[in-house]
Amino acid sequence: MILMKKYSFFLKLVLLFIIFYWIFKSVNIKDTLNVLEKTNLSYFFFAFLLGNLSNIFLTIKWGRLAGPLKIKSNFFELLKLNYISIFYSSFLPGQSSGELIKGLRLTKKESSIQKVWVPIFIDKITNLLMVFIIGFVAVLSDKTFRTNSTLIFTISLLTVSFSVITLVLFSENTKHFIDFLRDKLIQCLKFVKLKTDLLENFSLNYLENYKKHNLLMFETLIWSALIKLPHVFAFYFLALSLNIDLNFIQCAWLFSIISLITLIPISFSGLGVRESTMIVILSQFGIERFNSLSLSILIFLTGILVAIIGGILELFSGNKNQK
């Protein structure tokens, strides 16, 4: 197991080295810096505010999901925890690290693993579904993309698949479906001689609490849209801040692609993966590579500024706990 982790870490380092080497070899860094120096700070600040607005909507959604389970944390406690979650997600590889911290903190307070992880699971699935929906609508609205039948079929299949998963979460057969997946996963883990204690003790009985709230699924999707749309607008305003010619539809499908690609746990906050992806994609639309890199850096910076708020909250909460 330890050997596998070492190989995995080494492989990530090699991939990151290759990605950054390619970026520095293919992009004129001096031109990139010149573009960044001319950033319209008003648009940049507005994009930063939109990132915070998204977190507020996320907290409201979390409050609605927590209600049926009688989770004790209030709005401000959840808002603080979401900022802290963003902080850890931004400075550790992948995005699951922040959710893990959130889950562990809430588990300690609520004294229940299942009660905490059910809303986290639903939140991630519905947010991911909304990313696909935004991308699907954006692709259909783009005159270039909608002529690509393979792309339309692929994104349609993915969107429908995640729609079905979301519906299953609130259906009568949810528990049976999840138990089936859990049992199969346990079998696989036992086959490779890994521990299965946590999975065997894991139950999703708390999903039953949602069956009395039939409209909650639709409300959850609405909040998911409100969480993701500010990021699309942030992409748009960041492009405006650099005088890059991208319309709102293009920013929408670009956001969807970047959101999915940065789920790959190679680097913290998707650094390198996001930049190389944007350079490749936007070059197909005649946008210079140094402009693409500049836009990606601004997206990274706005995310880091939001994450720093979580870092400050974590620092003060740590001092408070020490007292």
Domain locations in the chain as residue ranges = 40-170+214-322
Confirm if 26 and 280 have CB atoms less than 8 A apart: no
Among residues 226, 31, 48, the alpha carbon closest in space to that of 127 is found at 226
Q: Where are the beta strands (DSSP E) in the chain?
A: none
Residue type, 41: L
**Cα(238)–Cα(55) distance, integer angstroms:** 18
**Cα(109)–Cα(103) distance, integer angstroms:** 10
pLDDT at 10: 74
Residue 129 has pLDDT above 70, yes or no: yes
Residue 268's DSSP bridge partners are 93
Tokens describing residue 242: 């650099």
- Residue-wise pLDDT for 251-287, tens only, equals 999 999 998 888 877 777 788 889 999 999 898 888 9
By percentage, how much of the chain surpasses pLDDT 70? 80
Residue type, 179: D
**HSE-CB of 281 using CA atoms within 13 angstroms:** 20
**Cα(162)–Cα(71) distance, integer angstroms:** 26
The confidence band for 206, taking pLDDT boundaries of 50, 70 and 90, is low
pLDDT at 230: 96
Residue 295 has pLDDT above 70, yes or no: yes
CA distances (Å), origin 197, targets 5, 190, 202, 295: 21, 10, 9, 45
What's the pTM value of the predicted model, to 2 decimals?
Answer: 0.83
Average pLDDT value over all residues in the chain: 82
**Cα(86)–Cα(219) distance, integer angstroms:** 23
- Residue-wise pLDDT for 146-204, tens only, equals 777 887 888 888 888 878 877 766 665 566 666 777 777 777 767 766 666 666 666 55
* Helix, strand, coil fractions of the chain, as percent rounded to 5: 80, 0, 20
